[in-house]
Structure 1
């Protein structure tokens, strides 16, 4: 769970450059923000510090940091955190229905988070590219894949028994879950057409995607992992 910044750290976040997210502060303040997942230290000289997507959300909303879903143990499913507790978190599918979940405000939040993630890629990749996932995404696989899907306009599945996404042809919507495989998530969808659409979106976002079959149920699903090169 991300920790809330101290008042002094919050002032550093609020004073960040609005375009790049570059931070200015004492070494202790910057190190504290990195520890809380709100900033990162650029690997290249002069090793400036920049806001992470969670840090950008605090700066824009003036609220609490997003509460990411921690990486699950090998065979454990990821239980979505209640949306009401978060400033922003990509929807992994299966969350309780939330009023205004598909409204204009949510669309702006998703687009802003995706743009912040692209900026994080640009800042952390040695060549400044944005075509493949960064270290933050590799440590938050479920949320990162879900953000790519939601930012592309796909609907997450609703809670059990809620079809959630018929309006845009996604049927029950997507569900992103952790898997026993390192650096891989499973993406479930209502039908073959939805899985093909998810595949195209994730591949454009820099993920390797393959289609597989559940041994028992014979249901088809995707296995996605961040592309490295």
Structure 2
């Protein structure tokens, strides 16, 4: 179980700029937040530090410390509380609280795009998403209101890794759901194509983060 932030770290998080998530603290304090996935160092001078989506969630009182896990599917950053659902989870809760968590994670990801894309664009994926493809695609789908599959049931989307670089496979319960998932991913800045699995003849999506 992930340890909660220390009292000092919580004070830094709560004192972050409410609009940008910009942090102030000593080099050691900021490095500790980066190490826990709660902050990132901007790649351009003056190399300020900003909250990650997980840091934003703590600041907003959600109490979550992390996003997506590569295989089980957590969402934006990488420590362990909030989990972007990739499909196949059992007993996952839903309802207003979940919707609020997803909304906060998506807004945090948009801010991450704004701060880390060279031109500040929020309409296409950022570097973090390119290293966390399954998590990022799952968050985009859930944030758009799509429902992940439950357990072994074919009642929602499933996002899975592929051997191809910068590509994930998205499976859906029916053609209409696949088309809706494709539209949601394209709206979130992904390139999407529909393909047929040779052996089963099942249709699926292949999605990659758009570069322009």
Instruction: Provide the residue aligned with 1:104 in structure 2.
Output: 96
Contact 2:73 2:134 survives alignment (8 Å) = no
CA contact (8 A) 2:73 2:84 kept: no
Inter-partner Cα distance in structure 2 for 1:79 and 1:123: 27
TM, length-normalised to structure 1: 0.83
Aligned to 2:198: 215
Contact 2:130–2:166, Cα closer than 8 Å, also in 1:
yes
Structure 1 residue 3: Cα displacement: 6.7
Q: Secondary structure at the match of 2:22?
A: coil
3-state SS in 2 of match to 1:61 = coil
Q: Deviations over 1:96-128 (max 9, x none)?
A: 1234x1x12211211111111111111111211
Distance in 2 between the 1:57 and 1:30 partners?
17
Q: Contact 1:4/1:36 (CA < 8 Å) preserved in 2?
A: no
- Residue 192 of structure 1 is matched in structure 2 by 175
- Aligned counterparts, 1:107-186, within 5 A: 107-161=99-153, 172-186=155-169
Aligned length: 208
Tell me the SS of whatever aligns to 1:224.
strand
* Partner Cα distance (2:3, 2:167) in 1: 26
CA–CA separation in structure 2 for the residues paired with 1:207 and 1:119: 17
CA distance in 1, matches of 2:5, 2:101: 21
- Give the equivalent residue in structure 2 for 1:20: 20
Moved over 3 A (4+): 1-7
**Residue 30 (str. 1) matches residue 24 (str. 2):** no
SS of the residue 1:203 aligns to: helix
Q: Does 1:93 align with 2:87?
A: yes
State the secondary structure of the residue aligned to 1:122.
Answer: helix
The 3 A distance-change label for structure 1 pair 30 and 181 is same
Contact 2:168-2:206 within 8 A present in 1 as well: yes
RMSD: 2.1
Q: Which residue of 1 aligns with 2:49?
A: 49
Q: Is the 8 A contact 2:137 2:185 kept in 1?
A: yes
- Structure 2: which 5+ residue stretches go unaligned? none
The 5-angstrom pairing of residues 72-83 of structure 1 reads 78-80=71-73
Structure 2 contact 87–151 (Cα < 8 Å) conserved: yes
